Homo-oligomer: A and B are copies of this chain.
Amino acid sequence: MNIAAFIGSSRTESNSELLANEVLKGINHQKIYLKDLSIQPIEDLRHTKEGFQIVEDDYEQVIKAFMENDVIIFATPIYWYSMSGLMKNMIDRLSQAIRDERYQQFKRRLQEVETIVIAVGGDEPRIKGLPLIQQFQYTFDFLNMRFSSYILGEANKPGDILKDCQALSQANLLNKKLKMLLDPEEE
């Protein structure tokens, strides 16, 4: 079983990344830093004769991560009560990817992926982050992906997330679950 995490912050060691680290502690995984990829906003060509055109950017790495992993973590700071624009552009392009003839297995593959959302914000995230969770739910429903769990953490300054006991305790629990999935014999 393979695990990857998309990191949606523009900072390294952002609070959302740190919380993802807690979930992934002691687990072999891949990290994709969206800030280091060039991903164009989607150009909606669904309804043109030619359809979507091939875009020359790094989106292939996103596709690859979905194809090769069984659990995908979306770790994003909460900017204005929603995911970061960096992550939004990545998500938006899914509309193109699921129609791309070069990736015929992609849409079907998604249905085997289990998703986890980690979102960290400074303004009452456990309340005001709820619409974001609902949006992820609708998205995963549409794509028939399993939404296995989410953590909403609270932090403002760098590193603050490590003081959010509730988020840490949820991360810890999730870490144990993932380890059990990875190696059912061990526990």
Residues of A within 8 A of B (CB): 9-11, 14, 35, 41-44, 47, 77, 79-86, 88-89, 91-92, 94-95, 123, 126-128, 130-135, 137-139, 142, 147, 149-150, 157-158, 165-166, 169-170, 173
Taking CB atoms, residues of chain B closer than 8 Å to A92 are: 79-80, 84-85
Whether A85 lies near B10 (C-beta < 8 A) is: no
Whether A134 lies near B138 (C-beta < 8 A) is: no
Whether B91 lies near A89 (C-beta < 8 A) is: no
Copies in the complex: 4
Whether A88 lies near B77 (C-beta < 8 A) is: no
Whether A41 lies near B10 (C-beta < 8 A) is: yes
Whether B79 lies near A42 (C-beta < 8 A) is: yes
Whether B80 lies near A135 (C-beta < 8 A) is: yes
A158-B47 in contact given A165-B173, A169-B170 (Cβ < 8 Å): yes
Task: Give the complex CA separation of A126 and B127 in angstroms.
Answer: 12
Task: Give the complex CA separation of A9 and B123 in angstroms.
Answer: 28
Which residue of the partner chain B has the closest CB to A143? Answer: B80
Partner of A42, one of B81, B83, B85, B166: B85
A166-B173 in contact given A85-B42, A135-B131 (Cβ < 8 Å): yes
Output the least CB separation between A26 and chain B (Å).
19
Partner of A127, one of B85, B133, B165, B170: B133
Output the least CB separation between A39 and chain B (Å).
9
